[in-house]
Amino acid sequence: MRTVTATSPQTLEPEYDSTHGGLLRNSMLLGGRAIREALRTPDSLFPTIFIPLFFLVVNVGQAARIFPAEITPFLEGQNYGAFQLPASLLLSASFGGAALYLVEEIEGGYFDKLRATPISRMALMLGRLYAEFVKTMAVATLMVGLSLLFGIHIEAGVLGFVLLIVMVSLWAMVFSGFMQLIAVKSRSAAATQGGSMIFFPLLFLTPSFVPRDQLTRPMEIAATLNPVTYVMEAARSLILQGFEFEALAKGFGVVIVAMALMLTLSVRMVNNYD
């Protein structure tokens, strides 16, 4: 269990803005606090980087010879690592660290002190999600930078690289937001950490090893119904094909709809929190 060094509520309270326009300012204030927490415990970022890179190396090592770049059409001339990179990026974005910090604040009583301040309930949920966005941008940039050393390139260029990082970081916000729902509902670190395991079935029910049209029929149906598939395919299109607007529209569409649902549920849950 990580130890959170919480900033005193007496220090933060005068800075809160109870007006509607203060939502962004309050969220950024809480987000900045969450980023400082992460900087004080840099070792907590190690699994976020190491585990996805480990899976990337293992998966490429197992299947690269089966799918040579020269004779595998779906690789578009790149190596198999380029096809696997989006899966590793999404895995990195799905650790839900913000929810674990939040549940520690709930267990320690600090969340109740924050609720007693003149601050928007939306800001309580958004603050850590902003921090998760920034953290994921840094981690995803590092992972893509490392992949470039092994011959992978972003077919969509610099703009495609930016879109890739933004999409993955927005997905991190969505996933962490749903994990925060579990944290607020259960108020239990064990339940919150267990909830993060939901992602692994979703990740493997995607075309993570081959394109969707090469899956068996039952697996293809499952992947088609799985929203994570469209985020992965959108990220993959930027790396392998360039700007495939249909894939990008579906990927960003899934992220936007999931985020709207997550924020709606978050506000309702915090408002009903006793």
In the structure encoding, which two tokens stand for residue 28, read together?
């950024």
As a whole number, mean pLDDT of residues 176-190 equals 85
Is position 211 within any domain?
Answer: yes
For the chain, what is the domain count? 1
Which of the 8 DSSP states describes residue 7?
P
In the structure encoding, which two tokens stand for residue 54, read together?
């480990």
As a whole number, mean pLDDT of residues 205-218 equals 93
Q: List the single range of 18-27, 57-66, 242-251, 261-270 with lowest mean pLDDT.
A: 18-27
Is position 223 within any domain?
Answer: yes
Q: List Cα–Cα distances, 235 to 37, 55, 90, in angstroms.
A: 30, 17, 9
pLDDT at 168: 96
Is position 218 within any domain?
Answer: yes
Is position 4 within any domain?
Answer: no
At 70-116, the pLDDT tens digits run 999 999 999 999 999 999 999 999 876 788 888 888 887 877 787 77
Report which of residues 199 and 26 the model is more confident about: 26
Is position 150 within any domain?
Answer: yes
Is position 256 within any domain?
Answer: yes
* Residue 33 banded pLDDT, cuts 50, 70, 90: confident
Indicate whether 51 pLDDT > 80.
yes
Prediction pTM value: 0.86
Is position 1 within any domain?
Answer: no
Is position 221 within any domain?
Answer: yes
Percent of the chain with pLDDT over 90: 49
Indicate whether 187 pLDDT > 70.
yes
Domain that holds residue 248: 9-271
* Residue 12 banded pLDDT, cuts 50, 70, 90: very low
Which of the 8 DSSP states describes residue 1?
-
Report which of residues 153 and 17 the model is more confident about: 153
Residues 6, 184, 180, 9: what is their CA dihedral angle, to the nearest 10 degrees? -20
Alpha helices in the chain (DSSP H): 9-12, 23-40, 46-63, 80-92, 97-108, 110-115, 121-148, 157-186, 189-195, 199-204, 217-225, 227-240, 245-271
pLDDT at 96: 67
Which of the 8 DSSP states describes residue 153?
-
Report which of residues 216 and 200 the model is more confident about: 216
